[in-house]
Amino acid sequence: MPNLLQFERSPYLLQHADNPVDWHPWNDEALSMARREHKPIFLSIGYSTCHWCHVMARESFTSPEVAAVLNRFFVPIKVDREERPDIDSVYMAACMAMNGSGGWPLTVLLTPDEKPFWAGTYLPKEHLLFLLEQVAQRWQAQPEALADAAKALTDHLRQQQSVRPGTPTPALVRSGVVQFAEQFDETWGGFGPAPKFPSAHNLLFILQYHQRTGDPASLRMVETTLERMYRGGMFDHIGGGFSRYSTDRQWLVPHFEKMLYDNALLSLAYTEAYRQTLKPYYAKVVRRTLDYVLRELTDPDGGFYCGQDADSDGVEGKYYVFTPEEVARILGEEDGQRFCRRYGITARGNFAQKSIPNLIDASDWAEEDPTLEPLREALYDARKQRTRLHRDDKVLTAWNGLMIAAFAQAGLVLEESRYVDAAKNAVRFLQTNVMENGRLLARWYHGDAAHPGKLEDYAFFALGLLTLYGATLQAEVLEAACGLSSQLLDRFFDWEQGGFYPYADDGEQLITRTKEVYDGAMPSGNSAAALVLSRLSRLTGEPRWRKAADLQLRYLAGAVQSYPAGHSMTLLTFLEELWPSSELICTATSCPEDLLAFLREEPHPGLTTLLKTKDNSPILSSLAPFTDSYPIPEKGAQYFYCQGKTCAQPVQSIPALRSLMASLSAEK
């Protein structure tokens, strides 16, 4: 008989609805039941495309033996970490404090008042049974001992919130670059040993550092990493897009699940690499990644889905691998042999007796052979006939914010209007489906929106909107970013010490409300919010954004001192704040065609751009009142350029603007 998860909308929770375990969703009823019956809580946190979550489910949660112990002695609660990152964050911190590491599935034992006394990740069935039986016996005999341990751990987690403010400095930024250089794999790229995660926000920071300083070693670290990731099997050479991470040093064998946020951040990194180097293969990787998202992870109404599973038929990676015989059967003998030579598909194989297509041994990997494209398409079509991968088709506000940024930036830099349109469509989707009275909800699934928006939802969506504004200069987009940022300050910000809390002041209050600043697989909400505030301050000149940005930057400067490289998005914000910046205000009857071309064709680090027209001047007047004094010409355009504390006389054309910028740079 199905358990209570049958009434939920999360794909992950629904995967467990037929378990013999009497699962509850995280809600007041389940928590009250634990207190009323004085039972410990068995908390299991995962997500629907998680390979080891599936393994533990098959081994343990379908087992009547495990279910009998859980149902008798515990209140079992399932949580989708993607829908409730706040719960996941609290108990992942407990797991890290206990073990020094964490991951999913996350398994936590709690007292009835939600305090953790044991935490771990995947457990084989026999280990889980032993743990449950031991804890059940001890809870019956000495519940106070477990409660004391839980209280001590919770007190420890609460004490970790204290941060002494610091001062952002160029030295702090450079120390982060030095730490990355010390971990850099000179041969295969990436940082540290296997498993290797892309963590593309690290690459974005290092790219921006190179652009502002000209440091060649920084560019080399990024280019080596981007090249090796693309050439390996972590990139899907048949269907496009990147898997979540590599299990080996060479980026050959991935953990095959594909996540929306990874593909968003990697697209941003490859786009920026193309912008700085103009190497065509970077643009090709961006297009193949974003086209994959449009083809397989996009809702008909414009939102972006979470990702795709690693498993098909219960076997990880089965969907993605080939043998030479399979390729020849699909393409024919001659074309099959040519394709196999190009993509390293051999009789020996490189994964479970089959081959992950890759370009590791292709010396001409960067050269484009147009005759291979129809062969790749044929293999893609044939692959779709295999057992279909599970797709997690819920729409998460935070992850969509990152993908909006990726599409907007790629659309600008690659001059691809369809990508800008995809970003606009996603914005409309979120504004229509997950916004209520200016407040965000965290998740949409098949028409149902739920869960109050968290810090990442507001910060990432606002960042996506600011990136879209940079690609379109549409004032309504900037206005939407300001609206979300106001909610951030009103509901999440600590105006005394700085730092953003993970959930709103009127949201569900968990056992801790820790301000997370560390960048993991994604940038932290605190670092993204800092970048948003910094950019809004420079765009609008409004004191409220500046005051909050300064307080947030001081908070982060204190928080990142011990390990700057673990906070790359914060360091990127410091870069934008500390290195030279400039401002451009264009006034015109409508957006000049050559203005967006100017922004696209030439990187201008530290440049913020506003467009004022007759149509948008009322919006700009409310967002950036200083623009009231900038006149709109009867025809043509005027460009007002300021660098540092110096503003030049306006010029009337883009060529004149280029000359002005060059002359001011030469005077420095």
pLDDT tens, position by position, 400-414: 999 999 999 999 999
Residue 144: band (very low, low, confident or very high) from pLDDT cuts 50, 70, 90? very high
Instruction: State the helix-helix crossing angle for 170-183 and 200-213, rounded to 10 degrees.
Output: 120
Element (H, E) at 639: strand 637-643
Element (H, E) at 526: helix 525-540
Residue 161: band (very low, low, confident or very high) from pLDDT cuts 50, 70, 90? low
Residue (of 651, 633, 653) closest to 642 by Cα position: 651
Residue 321: band (very low, low, confident or very high) from pLDDT cuts 50, 70, 90? very high
Residue (of 274, 249, 244) closest to 186 by Cα position: 249
CB of 442 within 8 A of CB of 400?
Answer: no
- pLDDT surpassing 90 at residue 604: no
Contacts of 246 by beta carbon, 8 Å cutoff, 6+ apart: 190, 194, 195, 196, 197, 229, 232, 233, 234, 252, 253, 254, 255
Residue (of 455, 441, 587, 595) closest to 525 by Cα position: 455
Q: CB 197: neighbour CB atoms within 10 A?
A: 17
What number is the average pLDDT over the span 35-64?
96
CA distance 18 to 6: 8
Strands (E), 74-213: 75-80, 106-110, 116-120
In the three-class reduction of DSSP (H, G, I as helix; E, B as strand; rest coil), residue 270 is classed as helix
Residue 420's pLDDT is 98
Q: CB 278: neighbour CB atoms within 10 A?
A: 10
Residue (of 578, 576, 637, 573) closest to 610 by Cα position: 637
Both ends of the chain: CA-CA distance in Å? 75
Establish whether the linkage from the previous residue to 523 is cis, with ω within 30° of 0: no
What average pLDDT does the structure give for the chain?
Answer: 96
646 burial class (0-12, 13-18, 19+ CB within 10 angstroms)? exposed
Provide long-range contacts, Cβ within 8 A and 24+ apart, for 279-284: 279/366, 280/368, 281/230, 281/366, 281/368, 282/226, 283/414, 284/368
CA distance 412 to 422: 12
Residue 668's pLDDT is 63
> 425-444, pLDDT tens digit by residue?
999 999 999 999 999 999 99
168: left (phi over 0), alpha (psi -120 to 50) or beta: beta
Q: What is the dihedral of CA 243, 244, 250, 252, to 10 degrees?
A: -30
CB of 200 within 8 A of CB of 266?
Answer: yes
Q: CB 425: neighbour CB atoms within 10 A?
A: 19
Residue 422's pLDDT is 98
What number is the average pLDDT over the span 379-392?
93
Residue 99's pLDDT is 95
Element (H, E) at 245: strand 245-246
CA distance 241 to 257: 11
Q: Which residue has the tokens 């968003």?
A: 264
- pLDDT surpassing 90 at residue 245: yes
186: left (phi over 0), alpha (psi -120 to 50) or beta: alpha
| Tokens describing residue 168 | 């952002």
- pLDDT surpassing 90 at residue 123: yes
What number is the average pLDDT over the span 595-622?
93
pTM for this prediction: 0.95
Residue 160: band (very low, low, confident or very high) from pLDDT cuts 50, 70, 90? low
Question: Position 69: which residue type?
Answer: V
- pLDDT surpassing 80 at residue 602: no
Q: Is the Cα torsion angle 8, 13, 19, 25 positive or negative in sign?
A: negative
Q: What angle do CA 198, 204, 208 make, to 5 degrees?
A: 155
- pLDDT surpassing 70 at residue 573: yes
> 252-265, pLDDT tens digit by residue?
999 999 999 999 99
Residue 514's pLDDT is 87
DSSP 8-state secondary structure symbol assigned to residue 650: P
In the three-class reduction of DSSP (H, G, I as helix; E, B as strand; rest coil), residue 567 is classed as coil
Residue 359: band (very low, low, confident or very high) from pLDDT cuts 50, 70, 90? very high
| Tokens describing residue 339 | 């394709």
Element (H, E) at 607: strand 607-612
DSSP 8-state secondary structure symbol assigned to residue 633: P
Print the SS3 string covering 40-53: CEEEEEECCCCHHH
CA distance 581 to 570: 17
CA distance 146 to 109: 10
